[in-house]
């Protein structure tokens, strides 16, 4: 069973600045960086201009560990308690389902576990202790 826990930092429009800072301060290396404007277009939702340069997802390598980042969407605020979450990265959908089902018991579903353009199974849940977990299954188009 392959499972990794990765801290995920949510910023309020300054993720790119934070990435630059941690790149220097922690001698980190950018592994991936995608702005909202880089994502596939959704014909049902036009992306506001102020969202295009915000970070949708980024990953830094820091020593033997990783840090993940994203910005909130314009108009959304960073919620205390959700600005640092834990991303659980797995390799198979069944394992993702098992973890997601266990963590949501007596908790709150923030995003149902589902296939996305970047993952065959991704979901977001806050457990009964108030800890938010993102379940990310490897194997999407953007790894």
Share of the chain above pLDDT 70, in %: 94
Instruction: pLDDT band for 142, please (50, 70, 90 cuts).
Output: very low
Residue 14 has pLDDT above 70, yes or no: yes
**Whole-angstrom distance, CA of residue 114 vs CA of residue 67:** 23
Instruction: pLDDT band for 113, please (50, 70, 90 cuts).
Output: very high
Q: What is the pLDDT of residues 41-74, one digit of tens each?
A: 888 888 888 899 999 999 999 989 999 999 998 8
Q: What is the mean pLDDT of residues 67-96?
A: 88
Residue 9 has pLDDT above 70, yes or no: yes
At 131, which helix (H) or strand (E)? Answer: none
| Side-chain half-sphere exposure of 47, counting CA atoms within 13 A | 16
User: Which pLDDT belongs to residue 42?
Assistant: 82
pTM for the predicted model, two decimal places: 0.76
Between the two ends of the chain, the Cα-to-Cα distance in Å is 19
Instruction: pLDDT band for 109, please (50, 70, 90 cuts).
Output: very high
Least confident of 54-58, 116-120, 139-143: 139-143
């Amino acid at each position: 069973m392959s499972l990794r826990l990765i801290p995920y930092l949510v910023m309020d429009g300054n993720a790119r600045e934070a990435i630059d800072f941690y790149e220097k301060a922690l001698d980190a290396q950018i592994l991936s960086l995608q702005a909202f404007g880089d994502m596939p277009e959704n014909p049902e939702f036009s992306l506001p201009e102020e969202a295009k340069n915000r970070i949708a997802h980024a990953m830094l390598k820091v020593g033997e560990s990783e840090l993940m980042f994203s910005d909130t969407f314009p108009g959304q605020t960073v919620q205390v308690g959700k600005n640092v979450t834990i991303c659980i990265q797995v390799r198979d959908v069944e394992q993702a389902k098992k973890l997601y089902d266990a963590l949501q018991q007596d908790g709150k579903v923030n995003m149902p576990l589902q296939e996305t353009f970047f993952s065959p199974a991704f979901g977001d849940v806050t457990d009964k202790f108030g800890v938010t977990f993102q379940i990310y299954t490897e194997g999407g188009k953007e790894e």
